[in-house]
Amino acid sequence: MMSRIWPIGVAVITDSLRRKVVYVVLAFAAMLALAIPSLPDYGLGVEGAVFREVALALVYVTGLVIALSLAANRIPAEFERRTVYNVLAKGVSRWEYLVGTWLGIFCVMAGTIAAFTVVEQVVGVVTYGDPMWQLWQGSLAVLLEMGVVTAFAASVSTMAGPVVVVTATLAVVFAGHSRSTLVGGEGALALSPFYPSFDAFNVVNPVAHGSGVPMLYLLSMIVVFVGFVGLFLSVGVLILSRKDL
């Protein structure tokens, strides 16, 4: 099983690195990170918190751009160019193809987010003399959320083109962070437990302004990640298994 999933993932990683989009996004984000210290001055002791908050926001945007650019295009392009024929004819299951594609994009994102976090740490050390290790917790949360977003985008891309995928994914990201707005009022409060929320991945406050995220919370975040990814990829597999190529 992994012997078929992993080569598909590696192909996605290799292809992504050749396309240079990752480098462009990373370079742009790094430039922004370097510019954070030039933000207007805050009171003593607050600069580090502001830096961490903006840094996490940059990680988030970087992750989202990579997730959308890779997940929205990869599968529709493979269908259109028919490169998927050779893959599936080798006895690869459609679910293995989808999971392999997701895994490849997730690995690209993990590498990019890790590289970006290192850049932010370096800027933090140089500017504030603080390596800001808790940034890694924030980056992990972003990576997990982007893994979920990628799973959703990849699933939608099995039946729709890039424009629809990007629109639908941004809508889900917005909805995922709007539980309190959309069902927080008294009228819809009872729906709250069923609302598919990404709030579990929002650790900006403890990372930027607090003392980090407890280990138990990080573990529970991974459980939420696995649940969402499993759900979205299952739906994607269901759609893909019924598709005529």
Dihedral (Cα; 105, 108, 109, 114), 10-degree rounding: 160
In the complex, least distance from residue 163 CB atom to other proteins, rounded to whole angstroms: 21
Give the count of residues interacting with other proteins (CB under 8 A): 26
CB of 3 to other proteins, least distance (A): 6
Q: What does the DSSP assignment read for 75-91?
A: HHHHHHHTHHHHHHTTT
Q: Quick one: which of 40, 43, 91, 187 contacts other proteins (CB under 8 A)?
A: 91
Per CB under 8 A, the segment of 3-11, 22-30, 51-59, 191-199 that binds other proteins is: 3-11
Please report how close the Cβ of residue 171 comes to other proteins at its closest, in angstroms: 24
Cβ distance 102 to 154 under 8 Å? Answer: yes
Burial 55-92, CB ≥16 within 10 A → b, else e: bbbbbbebbbbbbbbbbbbbbbebbeeeebeebeeeeb
| Residue 89 to residue 170: CA distance in whole angstroms | 34
Is residue 100 within 8 Å of 8, Cβ to Cβ?
A: yes
- Interaction of residue 23 with other proteins, rule CB under 8 A: no
Asked if residue 89 binds other proteins (CB under 8 A), the reply is yes
Any residues with CB less than 8 A from the CB of 14 and at least 6 apart, and which?
A: none
Binder of other proteins out of 81, 129, 193, 211 (CB under 8 A): 81
Minimum CB distance to other proteins smaller for 4 or for 179: 4
Please report whether residue 21 would count as binding other proteins according to CB under 8 A. no
Residue 3, interface with other proteins (CB under 8 A)?
A: yes
Residue 7 binds other proteins, judged by CB under 8 A: yes
Q: What is the contact mask toward other proteins in residues 206 to 245, using x (rule: CB under 8 A)? A: ------------------------------------x-xx
Token representation of residue 18? 């050749």
What are the DSSP calls for 139-192, one per residue?
HHHHHHHHHHHHHHHHHHTTTS-HHHHHHHHHHHHHHHT-HHHHH-STTTGGGG
Q: Which is nearer to other proteins, 3 or 38 (CB)?
A: 3
Query: Between 127 and 234, whose beta carbon lies closer to other proteins?
Result: 234
The contacts of residue 28 (CB under 8 Å, 6+ apart) are: none
CB of 1 to other proteins, least distance (A): 10
Q: Which residues bind other proteins (CB under 8 A)?
A: 3-4, 6-8, 10-11, 14-15, 18, 81-83, 85-93, 96, 242, 244-245
